[in-house]
Structure 1
């Protein structure tokens, strides 16, 4: 029984609202940093030609790049926004929304954390700030997952398009696509953990009406006696 009590105590120490809030903040921060890097990486799509194997082309939301062994990597910004494919235009907007909402989620979460000397006398406001952080994290995650999925879909459709001659090189998935999915998923998980932290906080703050019943009182007395023995 002593070992069991220790195990329960350890679980209670590790699964506190404070630790859950900080885990949510850590996961959301990681997701936001990954999404931010993904938004500016030029490796959303990659293409190498069978005709010229020393040339590798890379494409992102803002730049297109050419890699050759002699020169290395050279990048050039897209000249016209209106001339861009629709999937890239939409992706730019959504990734900007993602970074903005992700940043706001962290700003909202910080004063709402337990142990932070802000809004100390207002637990209701702290709770609302953590909920807001969770909602904003979700929005940020979904607005990262959406553009990555849109570009993935258009790349896949173009890759299998039979209208293109077989000799023509085709765009394939770049590394940034996978980091985008990872970042978006981390933001959604971070938002979910904020909601879990709110539920845990509500559970801790529940009114102690049940423990006052005679049966529970009798039981706790009995446990106290066995502990003393």
Structure 2
């Protein structure tokens, strides 16, 4: 049983999955877990956009290096928050699965829920988001804001133009 559907694996039939009928008919823990996963996806996407604008290779806010550094820090915090909001529902569902698996009040004829592949994918995604957010935050905070790189491009362009002018004035070269 996962956040989105219930699957049963039998030897003779194989794997059969069924979507939940209604969001409101779900138990409270599954409703909250779904909301947290949507929030995690939204925060991760927002963190990707924000940190993308803070990259050095993007020339949109090239002259404002302090703003780029703040965007990288905000992107790291958003990634980290996205990782936490992904790990909470995945771990909560895993905890409930373990509790129900060892519950002795449930008769033996009722199928026991076990961990599925999506649970491990959720854990690895959550930890990757945490690690990525921490690395982005640390990288932005550990280095001082570099000066605007626009003057380097101008200097290189001037050198290139001077070489072209020299070639035009000296036809032998």
TM-score (norm 1): 0.59
1:164-188: CA deviation from partner (whole Å, max 9, x where unpaired): 1234321111121111111100000
- Quick check: 1:159–1:171 contact (8 Å CA) kept in 2? yes
Spell out, residue by residue over 1:85-122, the C-alpha distance to the aligned partner (whole angstroms, 9 max, x if none). 22211110000000000000010011101121121011
Partner of 1:216: none
Aligned with 1:77 (options 14, 19, 37)? 19
Q: Which has the higher contact order (CA 8 A, sep 6+)?
A: 1
Residue equivalent to 1:103: 45
Deviation at 1:70, TM superposition (A): 6.8
For these two proteins, the number of residue pairs brought into alignment is: 147
Call closer, same or farther: CA 1:158–1:66 in 2, change over 3 Å. closer
Alpha-carbon distance, 1:69 to partner: 6.5
1:93 corresponds to? 35
1:121 counterpart = 2:94? no
Q: CA deviation at 1:161?
A: 1.1
Q: Does 1:176 align with 2:122?
A: no
User: Structure 2: how far apart are the matches of 1:69 and 1:193?
Assistant: 45
RMSD: 2.0
Q: Which stretches in structure 1 are left out of the alignment for 5+ residues?
A: 1-58, 206-229
The alpha-carbon deviation at position 67 of structure 1 amounts to 4.6
Structure 2: any 5+ residue segments left out of the alignment?
148-173
Q: Using the alignment, how far apart are the partners of 2:18 and 2:102 within structure 1?
A: 27
